[in-house]
A and B are shown apart, each in its own frame.
Chain A
Amino acid sequence: MFGLDKKDTSLLALVAILTLAAPFILNPFPTNSGLAQFNAGYPDLMQRFVIFGIFAIGFNILFGLTGYLSFGHAAFLGIGSYSAVWMFKLLSMNIIPAIILSVLISGIFAVVIGYISLRRTGIYFSILTLAFAQMSFALAYSVLTPLTNGETGLQLTLEDPRVLGQSATADGSIPVTNLFGAEMRSSFDMVVGPWSFTFSVGYYVCAIAMLLAFYLAIRIFRSPFGMMLRAIKSNQTRMNYTGLNPKPYTLAAFVISGMYAGLAGGLLASMDPLAGAERMQWTASGEVVLMTILGGAGTLIGPVLGAGMIKYFENIFSKINDNVLHGWFSFMPDGLEDLVVTIIHPFVGKGWHLTLGIIFMLVVIFLPGGLVEGGQRIAKAFRGKKADDNKSASTEPAE
């Protein structure tokens, strides 16, 4: 189906079902129960899941396939956000032109930055992309203030022209982003017994964008072009000797992943129309690297998993405080309860970064293939030795 083989079709179908049913799946606990804080099914967070999923899928096309580790991808995310907000300011509040512009502009930037950075490989490439991203960040923060509104961030105002829309709504407030009239902010609550599920327009717009992005990524992975990118990762010298020039392929991959980042930035701005320079800082680039590696670089589903996991941690883990912990361990004797809470305390709440750092290190050390590899290993252990025999029969190409 859609030009995919059976395995990929089922993967795509699985992802589609999971994303479309996410408001149910992520809200497994009744609203008033003690575990309700683990519910991730509110629109704001679900939007983040899929938007950063897009960002990570795009990053994976570059890093997972070609092996070029870019430490400056957040620049494209920021550029995308700025372009989208400008479109909201100048043209209309419809998100379609905004997203088209953000993808285009970040694509143009990616061509320029990629063309220069890709002249070098390895760590030099990482440093070059890092330098470009830091330059964009510094400029957006200082000199380009007329374009980016510096420290405050670019926001919508009532004075914006909005040629095709209106500057202000009838009651004098700033209009909201919409897709041909369907407002991103509007949502529908469904109450089933103690559960409550929220379906928001914004989330479904993002989810469909992600499914399209994911589909495109599968097609790229399975295409001859994707094959070329893998060839670059495994042995660039050999590719050169075969008479192929890797440059156009890497540049294309870089631009595609830059445009994915631009799309993610545009969507971020569409959900919440403001853009700040901190979105471009190198730590933000580091975050997408974390997501991709955590999930599994070079795999299709990995980056989405990683993005979901990090965003879940960021929003849910950080909410666990001492009171909650005491609630969980109240069945223990008092002394023991306090001890357990004291031990866990540094890793949750404000300390969720620590947990993330530790998990990330463990993944890099023991599971270079990320969560996906972990899943495969577990699956293999269940299937027994049979799968193992097949693996050893296939030979690795000689270096």
Chain B
Amino acid sequence: MDAFLLQTLNGLDKGSAYALIALGLTLIFGTLGVVNFAHGALFMIGAFCSVTLQRILNLSYETVDPSKTDFLGNPLKVKTPYVESWFGPETGGAIIEWSVPLAIIFAIPVMLAIGFSMERGLIKHFYKRPHADQILVTFGLAIVLQEIIKYYYGANPIQTPAPEALSGVAQLAEGIVYPVWRIVYFFFAIAIIGAVFAFLQFTTFGMVVRAGMADRETVGLLGIDIDKRFTLMFGLAASVAGLAGVMYGPINAPNYHMGMDFLVLSFVVVVVGGMGSLPGAVLAGFLLGILESFASMKEVITLIPGINQIIIYLVAIVILLTRPRGLMGRKGVME
């Protein structure tokens, strides 16, 4: 029973990352009709936003402390981050420690800007081109973004630790301990998904976007500049991917190819959920996450060796062949 609960938690946790990335992908596909292979790169850039913020906060100056000496007998050089000298060691230290949650605030404008410039500068010209061309150009873009990050940050993973209060493990029930940050990630994902859905469901802006997803031409005929709103949606999707990346940092240290690693899986998730269906993407994300973690239980592996490695792809193949539209795909979208 404990193992069961633990695997469900693991699954929800894995699933929340899948769901967040797939949500962004589906937003882009549903609104703009573009298959974005650079979405994994956006996730990766998000993670590097928190690396950047961490570096900015750790900018420091050196002072010489004459009262102490280092092991060579020279006066000890003390590095003090500027933040600490401005806000005092206590507040400053706390700011540095909480750099990952703070990076959320930092990442939103950055990701919006990247999303806007990507859509206006590149994707816009690919609406009328075939899907294969869109896949190829965004694949190229993903390589470029990845290499730029690699150039500036190096090829090694960079740790972005969670704040002390949110790291460590929590005792959930008798005999069940679970890392706190993973629980935080799950609730964060739920919050983001809820916010996106609420935005689309309860605001006028969201209503127009949904109308545009259903029938772009008619909305255009009503005199609404749907392109402008869709650009904004691209920015939103980029931010969702970016935030998923920021919060993922403490779970897995960011490296430049983390985007590519997630990309394939998130595409599988989108297809299983049904192209263009937002609830489908979220559902499939959690579903595949849970399936994957159950498949990696010891009992299952001894029964069917290697199943944990391939379960997601296996499910995707079965679903694609039996339910052509995916779990919740709408009729007429990419059939």
Task: Report A's interface with B, CB cutoff 8 A.
Answer: 67, 69, 116, 119-120, 122-124, 126-128, 130-132, 134-135, 138-139, 141-144, 282-283, 286, 289, 293, 346, 351, 353-354, 356-358, 360-361, 364-365, 368
Contacts of B135 in A (CB 8 A): 69, 123, 126
Docked complex Cα distance between A368 and B268 (Å)? 27
A344 to chain B, nearest CB (A): 13
- Give the residue name and chain of the A residue nearest to B148 (CB): A354
Instruction: Encode contact with A along B139-157: 1 for CB under 8 Å, 0 otherwise.
Output: 1110110111001000000
Instruction: Identify whether the interface residues of B are mostly helix, strand, loop, or mixed.
Output: helix
Query: With A120-B320, A123-B135, A123-B334 as given contacts, are A358 and B144 in contact (CB-CB < 8 Å)?
Result: yes
B324 close to A (CB within 8 Å) = yes
Contacts of B133 in A (CB 8 A): 364, 368
Docked complex Cα distance between A321 and B151 (Å)? 14
- Give the residue name and chain of the A residue nearest to B312 (CB): A131
B253 close to A (CB within 8 Å) = no
Contacts of B139 in A (CB 8 A): 286, 289
Contact B306 A128 (CB under 8 A): no
Contact A122 B264 (CB under 8 A): no
Which of B146, B268, B310 is the one whose CB lies under 8 Å from A138? B310
Docked complex Cα distance between A361 and B140 (Å)? 5
Contact A69 B132 (CB under 8 A): yes
Which of B140, B268, B275, B309 is the one whose CB lies under 8 Å from A360? B140
Contact B313 A132 (CB under 8 A): yes
Query: With A138-B310, A139-B309, A143-B305 as given contacts, are A357 and B137 in contact (CB-CB < 8 Å)?
Result: no
Interface centre among B35, B132, B146 (most CB of A within 10 A): B132
Given A134-B264, A356-B143, A360-B143, output 10 extra A-B contacts at Cβ < 8 Å: A122-B131, A127-B271, A127-B320, A131-B268, A139-B310, A289-B139, A346-B151, A351-B151, A357-B141, A360-B136
Contact B147 A361 (CB under 8 A): no
28 intermolecular pairs with C-beta atoms under 8 Å apart: A116-B317, A123-B135, A123-B271, A124-B334, A127-B267, A127-B271, A128-B316, A130-B264, A130-B268, A131-B268, A131-B313, A131-B316, A132-B317, A134-B264, A134-B313, A138-B306, A139-B306, A139-B309, A139-B310, A143-B309, A354-B144, A354-B147, A357-B144, A357-B146, A361-B140, A364-B133, A365-B137, A368-B133
- Give the residue name and chain of the A residue nearest to B275 (CB): A123
Interface centre among A130, A282, A364 (most CB of B within 10 A): A364
Contact B132 A357 (CB under 8 A): no
Which of B151, B271, B316, B317 is the one whose CB lies under 8 Å from A354? B151
Contacts of B137 in A (CB 8 A): 361, 364-365
Contacts of B146 in A (CB 8 A): 353, 357
Contact B147 A357 (CB under 8 A): yes
Task: Report B's interface with A, CB cutoff 8 A.
Answer: 35, 122, 125, 131-133, 135-137, 139-141, 143-144, 146-148, 151, 260, 264, 267-268, 271, 275, 305-306, 309-310, 313-314, 316-317, 320-321, 324, 334
Contacts of A144 in B (CB 8 A): 306
Contact A123 B268 (CB under 8 A): no
B314 to chain A, nearest CB (A): 7
A121 to chain B, nearest CB (A): 9
Docked complex Cα distance between A63 and B140 (Å)? 18
Docked complex Cα distance between A233 and B334 (Å)? 17
Contact A357 B143 (CB under 8 A): yes
Query: With A69-B132, A354-B151, A361-B140 as given contacts, are A131 and B309 in contact (CB-CB < 8 Å)?
Result: no
Docked complex Cα distance between A358 and B317 (Å)? 33
Contacts of A365 in B (CB 8 A): 122, 125, 137
Query: With A123-B135, A135-B314, A361-B140 as given contacts, are A142 and B306 in contact (CB-CB < 8 Å)?
Result: yes
Contacts of B268 in A (CB 8 A): 127, 130-131
Contacts of B309 in A (CB 8 A): 135, 138-139, 141-143
Docked complex Cα distance between A69 and B147 (Å)? 25
Docked complex Cα distance between A124 and B324 (Å)? 9
Docked complex Cα distance between A128 and B326 (Å)? 13
B154 to chain A, nearest CB (A): 10
Which of B131, B140, B267, B271 is the one whose CB lies under 8 Å from A364? B140
- Give the residue name and chain of the A residue nearest to B316 (CB): A131
B273 to chain A, nearest CB (A): 12
Contact B321 A293 (CB under 8 A): no
Docked complex Cα distance between A130 and B306 (Å)? 18
Contacts of A124 in B (CB 8 A): 271, 320, 324, 334
Interface centre among B131, B268, B305, B306 (most CB of A within 10 A): B306
A342 to chain B, nearest CB (A): 12
Which of A132, A143, A289, A354 is the one whose CB lies under 8 Å from B136? A289
Which of A128, A134, A283, A346 is the one whose CB lies under 8 Å from B320? A128
Docked complex Cα distance between A289 and B310 (Å)? 24
Docked complex Cα distance between A44 and B252 (Å)? 38
Contact B321 A361 (CB under 8 A): no
Contacts of B310 in A (CB 8 A): 134-135, 138-139
- Give the residue name and chain of the A residue nearest to B141 (CB): A361
B312 to chain A, nearest CB (A): 8
Docked complex Cα distance between A282 and B260 (Å)? 10
- Give the residue name and chain of the A residue nearest to B317 (CB): A131
Contacts of B125 in A (CB 8 A): 365
Docked complex Cα distance between A67 and B131 (Å)? 11
Contacts of A141 in B (CB 8 A): 309
Contact A353 B264 (CB under 8 A): no
A17 to chain B, nearest CB (A): 32
Docked complex Cα distance between A365 and B334 (Å)? 23
A254 to chain B, nearest CB (A): 16
